[in-house]
Amino acid sequence: MSGNPHAISHKSPYSQAFEAYLRTGRRSGLVAPTRRMERKFNPYHDPENGQFTFAPGGQRSGTARRSPREGSAPADRPAATQPRLTLANYKPNPRARIGGNQRRPSYDPMTLEQTFPGLRNAPGGAIIALADNALDITGPSRRLTTELAGAEVKSLIAQIRQVDPDFRYSSLGPATTLEGQINEIKTLRMHRAAVRYNKLGDMGPLQVEVLRQMQASTDRAYEKGVKLFGAGHLRPRLSPDEAIGNFIDRSVKAEMRMLFDRYGIQHGVGRQVRVSGREYDTSGTDRTYRIPDARVGRMAYDMTTERKLPSKPQIRGFFGADFGADSVVIVRPTQLGRGSTYVIKKPGK
């Protein structure tokens, strides 16, 4: 307080009452108003988990979108339309990268040994089943989103141009549906396989893509063949399986020839790639031959609805042919159940 009793006090009545209480111990009737509690709001939080950030980063901000969790979807997109995949059984390569620090989102085998686990170290004559969903695009713990699909497309185009700088990919724009994204990735993988085979002589990726294409074609032909047989359009000579099998054989071989032509892969007599060509065995006194449904290098492919064992004369004939088959891939419709497609390793190898 000022020494001058007539000085104008600039203190509030509540401050003066408190000072009087300190001097005299008596309380005045004034009651200080209750202050509102100050609350702070950070608009930059992720509504999925409530986690706060120090800058725009959640889905509210629109600058760094998080991929939706299972069972959730952005507000502007219904959950039913979210791109999701049933994922394949594989162990992702932790060293794989696709731009920045993102890990490769998809399962991308480059050899048949990666699609048939254990093939490399299996004993001769072993039968090894195709891993569940091994020919799908993604792995067991990841989902394919639009962002990841776009990154995979860019990565594949870059890989192709490393081998063929003149490669130009004709596209009407990024795919907007899950099916379109998957088809675009499959198309580019086939381009990569063709380029690596034509430019480098690398048969590994082509062997994988031939299996992928044959499996898809076989499944389509089987489904159609069953319907045609049920409608009376396929006449069996021995059994329904024989009639459906012959239909599959004709359909898939025609598609494989068109596939090789479309991607500029030369095939036929004297080539490493063949469709339904005679493979001779000249090791004995009698010149014999067997006819694989397809062949890429030292890998033979046989489409069938029946299970075939290494002891079958046809399979033994493939291994005895002059081209020196390492393995025979038995491609059967996936509609026949788990383990329908498998590989037989050359006995004694």
Model confidence pLDDT, tens digit, residues 6-24: 544 556 776 777 677 666 6
Q: In which domain, by residue range, is 266 found?
A: 94-345
* Buried b / exposed e along 217-244 (16+ C-beta atoms within 10 A): bbbebbeebbeebeeeebeeeeeeeebb
Q: Closest by alpha carbon to 67, among 122, 7, 143?
A: 143
Q: Give a yes or no: residue 40 inside a domain.
A: no
Give the pLDDT confidence score for residue 172 in this predicted structure: 67
Q: Whole-prediction pTM value?
A: 0.68
Helices (H), 57-177: 112-115, 146-163
Q: Give a yes or no: residue 58 inside a domain.
A: no
Q: Taking the alpha carbons of 209, 212, 218, 224 in that order, is the dihedral positive or negative?
A: negative
Give the pLDDT confidence score for residue 25 in this predicted structure: 63
Confidence of residue 98 (pLDDT cuts 50, 70, 90): very low
Query: CB-based contacts of 256: which residues, under 8 Å, 6+ apart?
Result: 210, 213, 214, 217, 275, 293, 294
Give the pLDDT confidence score for residue 176 in this predicted structure: 75
Give the pLDDT confidence score for residue 38 in this predicted structure: 47
Q: Report yes or no: 88 and 107 within 8 Å, Cβ to Cβ.
A: yes
Give the pLDDT confidence score for residue 82 in this predicted structure: 37
Q: Closest by alpha carbon to 327, among 342, 305, 312, 339?
A: 342
Give me the phi and psi of 130, to 5 degrees please: -65, 135
Whether the pLDDT of residue 46 is over 60: the answer is no
If phi > 0 it is left, if psi is from -120 to 50 it is alpha, else beta; for residue 17 that is: alpha
- Amino acid in the structure at residue 295: R
Give the pLDDT confidence score for residue 139 in this predicted structure: 55
For range 19-46, the mean pLDDT: 56
Give the pLDDT confidence score for residue 171 in this predicted structure: 74
| Token reading at 249 | 């054989």
Q: How far is CA 121 from CA 124, 313, 349, in A?
A: 9, 25, 10
How many structural domains does the chain have?
1
Whether the pLDDT of residue 85 is over 80: the answer is no
Helices (H), the chain: 13-24, 112-115, 146-163, 178-195, 204-230, 240-262, 313-320
Q: Report yes or no: 104 and 121 within 8 Å, Cβ to Cβ.
A: no
Q: Give a yes or no: residue 33 inside a domain.
A: no
For range 220-225, the mean pLDDT: 96
Whether the pLDDT of residue 303 is over 60: the answer is yes
Q: Closest by alpha carbon to 281, among 326, 315, 317?
A: 317
Please give the DSSP secondary-structure letter assigned to residue 131: P
Give the pLDDT confidence score for residue 103 in this predicted structure: 44
- Average pLDDT value for the chain: 78
Q: Give a yes or no: residue 244 inside a domain.
A: yes
Q: Closest by alpha carbon to 73, among 141, 139, 153, 146?
A: 146
Q: Give a yes or no: residue 27 inside a domain.
A: no
Burial class (CB in 10 A: 0-12, 13-18, 19+), 117: middle
Burial class (CB in 10 A: 0-12, 13-18, 19+), 10: exposed
